Amino acid sequence: MSQPTSESPIQTPPPSPPQPLADGNGAPAGPLGSGEAAPHGERTGTAVLPAAWESVPAPVDISSQQPRRRNRLVLALSVAVVLLLAAAGVLTALVVTARADADALTAAEAAEDRQQAEELQAVQDERGRLEERISDAEADAAAAEGRIAAAEAAQSAAEEATAAREQADAEAAAADEQTFVDALRATETMTSATDAQLLQRGRDVCSYLDSTAGTPPDLTDAFDRAVATYAIDDAILLVTAATQILCPEYGS
């Protein structure tokens, strides 16, 4: 080979022709238009395949792995959906149970409130009836007290009237007795007798006439009884004064 000189330009080798690609086993393919591949390391035409082709890996078929990844993703999504549906079912069951419990609790509280209201109303009604009975009893007691007070007042008035009448009767009787004694003393009848003895003799005449009740009183019998004891003038004055003053109902 001749050395280049400064006068001559540098010559570059012509580009090598494109090499055929290796087949699926890593061996280079044959010449274009040939159906057979040349043996590894042998010449193909004028070029020898470089050894670097032996370390190049075979291309990966990505299209065959995509369905697997898609299936795994679909399976994961399905599992997630199932879990979500299960969780939703559990939550729904919990919500339904909680709502049922709340409804039951609300119903129980409402029933208890109604029962308490009914019991309270019953107590209030009973209290009202008791208050009415107490009021009626108080009114009856007040009326009874009024009647008792009126009766006591009437009794007191009657007692006072009786006492006044008795007092008047006593005063009248005392006056009659004094009049009887004075009448006998004025005629000097039975001068030896005391006032009490004169009164007793006049009462005896009246008692005798009282003993003949139911029959017409007969003063003749009274005179006869008096004459049997006293002088005739004294007997006549005694019977006359007694029937006129002490027991005038028998006087003529």
Which amino acid type is present at position 206?
C
Q: What is the pLDDT of residue 135?
A: 92
Q: What is the pLDDT along the chain (252 residues), one digit of tens a residue?
A: 444 444 444 455 555 555 555 454 454 444 544 444 455 444 555 545 555 445 555 555 555 567 777 788 888 888 888 888 888 888 888 888 888 889 898 999 999 999 999 999 999 999 999 999 999 999 999 999 999 999 999 988 988 888 888 888 888 888 989 999 988 888 777 788 888 999 999 999 999 888 876 566 678 888 888 888 888 888 889 999 999 998 888 876
Q: What is the pLDDT of residue 143?
A: 93
Contact 28, 21 (CB under 8 A): yes
Q: What is the pLDDT of residue 75?
A: 84
65-92 burial code (b ≥16 CB/10 A, e <16): eeeeeeeeeeeeeeeeeeeeeeeeeeee
> Which of 251, 200, 199 has the alpha carbon at shortest distance from 222?
251
Stated length of the chain = 252
CA distance 171 to 187: 24
Token pair, residue 53, equals: 């082709």
Q: What is the pLDDT of residue 33?
A: 46
Global pTM? 0.41
CA distance 21 to 12: 26
Query: Residue 216 to residues 211, 213, 221: CA-CA distances in angstroms?
Result: 11, 7, 11
3-class DSSP string for 185-232: HHCCCCCCCCHHHHHHHHHHHHHHHHHCCCCCCCHHHHHHHHHCCCCH
Strand partners, 191: none
> Which of 81, 80, 78 has the alpha carbon at shortest distance from 70?
78
Q: What is the pLDDT of residue 79?
A: 86
